[in-house]
Each structure stands twice: as C-alpha cells, then as structure tokens.
Amino acid sequence: MRIVSSLLSGLLSSADQVSPPLDAEAHCDLPCGVYDPAQARIEAEAVKSITERFNASDDELFRTRAIVIREQRAELLKHHLWVLWTDYFTPEHLAAFPNLHDVFWRATKKAGEAKKTADVAVADDLLNQVAEIEKIFWATKNA
C-alpha cells in the first residue's frame, strides 16, 4: 500500500502537478475542520505492534513498559475515535450510516479490550473496526 501510494504520488507530482490541496478537515473542537482518522489508525497499529513485541519478549522491564505504553496508545485511540464520533459526524451522516453509533461503540470497546489481553487477534479486530470507520469517514468526506 505504502509502496503503491508512493509510486502513485510520484506519478501525480510529475504528471499533472495541479498539486493536491492539503484538504484539511477539523479535528480540534474550535473546530478547525481538520479531521483525519489516520490519527486513530496509527494508534491501532501501535497497539498491535506493542502486543506482538510483548509476546515476543521475556524481559520484565520490556514487558512492563509494553503494558504501560499500550495502555496509553489504546486510550489515545479511544480519544481520537470519540472526537470523530462527537465532533465530526452530523445527523445527516447518521441518516446515511445508521450503524454509526454502533460502529464507534464497538470500536472504542474493542480498544479497551485490547489493553487487557496478549491476544493479537483482538488488535487485528481493532484495526479492522478502525478501517471500517475510515471507510465511513471518507465516504462522507467525498460525498
């Protein structure tokens, strides 16, 4: 994905050079209008990576740090999702995506669950749920 995306961006920049607008979209509650679910996805990736590294290590110091840091990343993930849910999404979006509340509720609950387990499958579920949110987000942005 990264590779393709950078190939593509190479093509784009040499090709049309119309220069993609840095399309900002609100993420603080000014609101500034710069929302981006990538913030949540990055934390979900961290949660998975930390879980894997926790499992691969038998060093007390490392494992303790992994637990603590994963706790922080998962909490931050919940925060980013809550912000999107409350601040970005509107009643119109809800009408178009009636499962909106449910998707966010399950994803934030999953983030809590991911703090409590060494099971990487939970982190994978979490990534999938965040991906589902990204899909909804971009569908509403591009609408």
Which residues, numbered 16-35, are part of the site for a copy of itself (CB under 8 A)? 19-24, 26-30, 32-34
Smallest separation, CB 49 to a copy of itself (Å): 4
Structure tokens, 61: 């110091």
Give 92 or 101: the residue with its C-beta nearer to a copy of itself: 101
In the complex, minimum distance from the CB of residue 61 to a copy of itself, in angstroms, rounded to a whole number: 6
* Interface size with a copy of itself, residues (CB under 8 A): 72
Place of tokens 């609950």: 109
Single-letter code of the amino acid located at 32:
C
Least distance between a copy of itself and beta carbon 67 (Å): 5
User: Residue 118: helix, strand or coil by DSSP?
Assistant: coil
Cα gap 136→30, rounded to integer Å: 23
55 in contact with a copy of itself (CB under 8 A): no
Q: How far is the CB of 76 from a copy of itself (least distance, A)?
A: 10
- Residues 54, 51: Cα–Cα separation, whole Å: 5
Task: Give burial (CB, 10 Å; 0-12/13-18/19+) of 137.
Answer: buried
Binding of a copy of itself at residue 93 (CB under 8 A)? no
Contact between 56 and a copy of itself (CB under 8 A)? no
**Size of the chain, expressed as the number of residues it contains:** 143
Tell whether residue 129 is a contact of a copy of itself (CB under 8 A). no
